[in-house]
Amino acid sequence: MNKAMIWSRSSVLMAVIIGILGLVPAGEAAAATIRVPTDYSTIQKAIDVAGKGDMVQVSQGTYYENITLKEGVTLEGGWNKDFSSRDISAYVTTLDGSSNKGWVVLGANEATLDGFTVINGTEAVLEDNTTTGAGINCESTSPTIINNIIKANEPGGIYCSGCSAIIKNNVITNNKQAGINVEKGSSPKIEGNIIRDNNDAGIRTGDMPASQLEVRNNILNNNRAGIDAQSATGTINNNIIYENREAGIRCSITPLNIINNTITANGQAGINVQDPAAVPTMKNNIITHNKDAGIRSGGQGYSYNLLFDNNLTENCDPYYLWCVRRQYGGYEDEESYLDRGGIIADPLYVDAVNHDYHLRPGSPAIDAGDPDPGFNDANFGPSLGASINDMGAYGGPFTIPEERKANDSPQANAGSLQQVYVADKVILDGSGSSDPNGDAITYHWEFVSRPEASRAELEDPTTTVNSAFRADAPGDYVVRLIVKDRWGKASDPHSVTITALLNHPPTANADEVDSQFSVGDTVTLYGIGSNDPDGDPLTYRWEILSRPPGSGAVLSDVNSSDPMLMLDRSGSYAVQLVVNDGKADSPPDMVYVSTIHQAVDGKRNVPADYPTIQMAIDAANPGDDIIVQKGIYHENIIIDKYINLIGIGWPEIDGGSAEGNVNTVSIAYLGERAGKIEGFIVTGGGLGPRGHGIYVWDSSPEITNNKVTGNRHNSIGIHGKAAQTGNTKIHNNLIYDNGVGIGNGLGSNAHIYNNQIYNNHIVGVGSRGGAIPRIEGNAIYGNHIGVGAREPASPRIKGNQIFDNVFGITISPLSTMEIFAGEDIVIENNLIINNSQRGISITSFNLSKVIILNNTIDSNNQRAWEQGGGVLFGWPHAGKFTAILENNIITNNREFGIGNYTGTEWVPVSGATIINNYNNVWNNDKDYGGCDLSDTENAGKCLQAGDKDISQDPLFVSVDSIKNGNYFLSQQDSGQDFNSPSVDAGSKDAAGLGLGSYTTRTDKAGDTGIVDMGYHYPKAPLP
C-alpha cells in the first residue's frame, strides 16, 4: 500500500471521527492547523495529510526537502519553536533543496507559500532531455507566493509556465539565471517584490505563446536586465528599476503599458523596444542616468515622461539638439519632445546615492504626468502636489500608501514691492509660496489696507496663485496672503505693499531719420511721437550731443516738437530729446543723422567719424573700408552693400544675447560682392535657432582672423544657394564657446579652413538642408560633436584634426526624416583621436553614400560606451546606405574599431553595405563589431576584415613641435629603425589621391608611390 493511500484513508477516518463527535456543523469541514515538526517530522508529510483550507505551520530551522504544494493548503514559515510567536525575520525557516536535483518547491493551484527562505534548487535533466528546476516551480499551477526569500537557485528563482501565480512581497536574489522566469502564456501578478543580484533578468519572459504580465510596485536592482518582457504583453506600473547591468526594461511585442516607473542608472537603455514595429505605451515614467538612451523605441509610443542624464549627457541643456536626441535614442528635436509632454530635467530625487527615489518638493515631475483623471495620484504620500499624476514610481493610482513623518506649515510669499500708477491693473504673484512637504497649496488673498478714497476689490481672492486689482487712487495698498496645504494647515501671513503714484512719466520718441543727406541739407527732426499716458501736455528739450569736427550746426528751436538741423559738415550728428509733462522728465531718446560723402582713401573711421558701426555702413559707398577701433559696440549690424569691416585692437560687437532669432552681424543678398570681416570679437547672437553671431544669406564674404564667441546659438551661419555662397571663405578664426561653431544650411557651399573651432556646446561645424561645405585643415576639439549633420547634407571633411570631442564626426539627418540620398559624403585624411565616445558615427537616418579614406582613427571611446568606438555604421537602427573604407588606420579604440549595427537579437537585419579594404585595424577591443560571428544563422551579415585589410602595430612616431604630432609613421628613410606596415600599403597612388604634397614622415618629405595608410600631415597651412 503506498503512502498516498494511507494519507488519504487517514483523512477520511479523521473526518468521520470529527463528524461523530459533532465538533463542526453538518456539511462543513473545519480548517485544520498542522505543525512541523510538532505534528509531523517533515513538511511534505504535513502537506500530504492536509486538506483544502488547512494551514501547515513550520517552525524555524532548515529543512532539507523538495516539497510539492497541495491545492488549497497554506504553508506558513517563520514560527518559533513552541508556535507562540511568528516573525519571519527572527525565526528563519529555510527550505534547502540541495539533497536532491530539481526544484525546491513545486506549486499547486490555490496553494500558498508564505514566509520561507527557499535555497539551492538545482537544474535536473528529465528522461525526455528537457530540464526542470528553480527555487519554486509553477508549471501549469497558480499558487500564491508571499513574504519569502528565494535565493541561490538554478536555473532561476521562480519558474512560471502556463501559470497565473500571485508573487508578492518576496526577496528574490542571487539566482543563477532569472529571478522570475515567465513563459508559455502565463499571467502572473508580480507585486511588491525586491528582485536583485540575479545573473539573468530580474523578470524574464520566454517561450511563446506570449505571457501577460502584471508587474507593480517592485524594486529590481543589479540583475542582467531589470524586466525582459520580450515575450509578454500586459502592464508594468510603479516599479523602481535601477543599476541593472543591461536595459531597465526590454520589450518586443504589444500591447504593453509601461506607466509610472522610475528607471535609473541601468547599463543600457532605460526602456529598449527591440522590434521597431512594436509600439508599447510608455507614459509618466522617470528615466534617468541610464548608460544608453532613456527610451529607445524608434520615436514611437511615449508621452509625459521625464528623462535626464541618459546616454552620458549629464546635466545637458535640452535646448541643444544632441541633448534631446541622445535621451530618445536618436529621435526628437528641441521642440518635438515638448509636444509629447516630455521633460528633460533633474527629477530631484531625495537621495539617489542611497537609492531613495522619492521626489523632493519642487521636483519638475510633480503634477507633470498625463492630466487624464485616470492617471491621477491616489495616495499622499508618497505622491506630492495636487492630484494630477506625479511622474515616476511614487505617482499615479497604484502607489502604496505611506505615512508622512510630519506635516510642516506651508510658507506664503505675496511677492515683491511694486510701484504702479493710478488706473494700472496690479497683478499679485504668490508663486514664491511653497510647502516644505511638497503638498499642493491653496491661496487666500485679502486687503490689509488701501487708500481712503479707494474702492478697489481683489479678483479671485481665494482660488489662484495670482490675484489682481485696479489701483483707483494714489497711495499704498497692503495685501496679505495666507496659503494652506491639502490637509488644511495654514501658513503665517505674508504681506506686500503696492504704491500707486498719480502721475505717469512721459516717454520721449525722437523718430529715426530714414533718408541719407548731403552737406548743406536741412533735416527736420520729429519728436511728435512722444507721449504721456495721463494725457498731460508735453514740453520738448532737444540737445546736440555730438557734431562732426568743425561743425557749428545748431537746432532751429530746441523747444519745438519738430526742430530743423542744417548739416554744415560731412559726418555724423547725435541729437538727444527729453520731454516733460509738467511734473517729471522722460528718459532721453537719441536720433543720429549722417551725411553721404566720398570717404578719404575709401576709409570711414569708427568712432572718430561715426559713433556706431551701423552709421558708418549706412554712409559708406560700395568698396569702402570701415575701420573700427578697440571698444565695445552694442549693435546689431546689417551689411547690405559691398564693404570691408576691419577691426583694430579687437573691437567687440555685442548683439545683446536676446532670446529670439537675433543676429549680431547680418550679411544678405550680396552674392560674391560681400566684402570682408576681419579683426573683431563677435558675440551676443540670439538664442533662437536662427540667431547668429554672423549670419550669411546668399552671399560670399571672407570672414578671417576674428574671435567669434559667446553666441547663444550659432556663431557663424552660411545659408543659401551654392552659386551665391560658393566663394565664402571662413579661415584663421577662433570660434569657441557658442552653441554651434559654424552652421551650413539650405544648399550653401562655404570653404571653411584653418580655423580653431573648440568648446562649442552643440557642434563645431554643422550641416543641414542640402549644404555641401568644404571643411579643411581645421583644428576641431572640445565640442560635443566635432563635425555633424542633422539633415541630409554632404560635407567634404578633409585634412582636419578632430579630437577631444564627445563625438568626432556624426552624420545623423533629422530623426525620422529619411528623406533622400544626397551627394556623396567624403571623410578624407583626417586625424580623429581621443573623442570620448565615437570617432565617426554614420547613423541609420543617413541614406547618402559615405567615402572614408586615409584617416587615422585612434583611441576613441575611452569611457567604453557600448555603442562607441572608432567607426559605427547604423544605430539606432540598421543602416541602408553604402560606405567605402580604404587606407585608414583604426587603432586602440574601446569596444570596436569598425562596427556595423545589424539590429537586435530578435530582429536581425543586414545593416549598411560596407566595402572595406586596405585598412590597418589593430588593437581595438573588437576590431570588427556589430554581430556575433558564432551565430551561424546570421554570421553572413557580420562585418569582417576586407581581403587587403591588415591588423598590425602601425608604429606611430612623434614630432613634439607639431600639435597632435604623435601619428607620423616609422620609416627608415626618415631615420627610424623600422618601416611601419602601413607605409606603401594603401590602394592607389598618393599623387592620384591628392596626398603627394602631404606627409607621414618625420622629415616632412611628401608621400610618393603607393599611398601610405592613415592621416597625412600638411607641409603648410592651406592658402
DSSP per residue, 762-825:
SEEEEE-TT---EEES-EEESSSEEEEESSS---EEES-EEESSSEEEEE--STT------SPE
CA atoms of 716 and 735, how far apart (whole Å)? 9
What per-residue string of b and e applies to 334-350 under the rule 16 or more CB within 10 Å gives b?
bebbeeebbbbbebbbe
- Answer whether 242's CB lies under 8 Å from 217's CB: no
Q: Residue 327: which H helix or E strand, with range? A: helix 321-327
| Cβ–Cβ under 8 Å, residues 831 and 804 | no
For residue 206, pLDDT over 50 is answered with: yes
CB-based burial label for 11 (10 Å; 0-12, 13-18, 19+): middle
> Given strand 838-842, what is the order of strands in its sheet?
637-639, 663-671, 692-699, 714-719, 740-745, 763-767, 785-789, 807-811, 838-842, 869-873, 898-900, 928-929
DSSP one-letter code for 625? E
> What is the residue-averaged pLDDT of the chain?
91
| Backbone φ and ψ of 723, nearest 5° | -65, -30
Task: Give residue-wise pLDDT tens across range 621-646.
Answer: 999 999 999 999 999 999 999 999 99
Sign, Cα dihedral of 323, 328, 332, 338 = negative
Question: Is pLDDT at 817 greater than 60 in this prediction?
Answer: no
- 386-398 mean pLDDT: 97
Tell me what the mean pLDDT of segment 124-150 comes to: 88
Distance, CA of 138 to CA of 156 (rounded, Å): 12
- 124-125/131-132 β-pairing: antiparallel
* 82-96, 168-182, 444-458, 820-834: least confident range: 820-834
653-697, pLDDT tens digit by residue? 999 999 999 999 999 999 999 999 999 999 999 998 899 999 999
Give residue limits of the domains in the chain. 52-361, 418-501, 522-594, 762-951+983-1023
* CATH level 2 (architecture), domain 418-501: Sandwich (2.60)
CA distances for 480 relative to 430, 444, 447, 456, 498, angstroms: 10, 8, 6, 15, 11
d(CA 663, CA 112): 72
Q: What is the pTM of this model?
A: 0.84
Residue 480 neighbours by CB distance under 10 Å: 16
pLDDT digits (tens, 9 = 90+) for 935-955: 545 545 578 888 999 999 999
pLDDT digits (tens, 9 = 90+) for 87-97: 999 999 999 99
Cell of 320: 541643444
Report the first-to-last Cα separation within the chain, whole angstroms.
Answer: 104
> Are 418-501 and 522-594 in the same CATH fold?
yes
- Distance, in Å, from the CA atom of 250 to the CA atom of 230, rounded to the nearest integer, reads 6
Look at residues 736, 717, 732 and name the one whose alpha carbon lies nearest to residue 782: 736
pLDDT by residue (tens digit) across 239-268? 999 999 999 999 988 899 999 999 999 999
52-361 is a CATH 2.160.20.10 domain: yes
Distance CA 404, CA 360 (A): 14
Checking if the pLDDT of 933 tops 80, the result is no
Q: What is the pLDDT of residues 261-303, one digit of tens each?
A: 999 999 999 999 988 788 999 999 999 999 999 999 988 999 9
CA 637 to chain centre: 35
What's CA 382's distance to the chain center, in Å? 27
Please count the other Cβ atoms lying within 10 Å of the Cβ belonging to residue 594. 26
732 closest CA partner among 676, 785, 788, 653: 676
Rounded Cα distance between 156 and 177, Å, is 5
Instruction: Return the closest-CA partner of residue 175 out of 161, 155, 160.
Output: 155
CATH topology classification for 522-594: Immunoglobulin-like (2.60.40)
Of the two residues 464 and 370, the one the predictor is more confident about is: 370
d(CA 53, CA 58): 16
Q: How many helices (H) and strands (E) does the chain have?
A: 6, 90
| DSSP codes joined into one string, 657-674 | --SSS-EEEEEEEEET--
Cα angle 249-251-255, degrees, rounded to a multiple of 5: 120
CA proximity to 462, closest of 482, 476, 479 = 482
Cα separation, 535 vs 421, in Å, equals 14
Cell of 412: 506664503
Give residue 814's pLDDT: 56
Q: Give residue 23's pLDDT.
A: 41
Cα Rg of the chain, angstroms: 38
Q: Which residues pair with 249 in a beta bridge?
A: 227, 271
Residues in the chain, total: 1023
Return the amino acid letter for 673.
R
> Are 859 and 837 spatial neighbours (Cβ–Cβ below 8 Å)?
no
Q: Rounded CA gap, 24 and 758, in Å?
A: 88
Q: Are 390 and 229 in contact (CB under 8 A)?
A: no
Put the strands of the sheet holding 707-709 in their side by side order. Answer: 632-634, 652-654, 681-683, 707-709, 734-736, 756-758, 779-781, 801-803, 831-833, 856-858, 889-891, 920-922
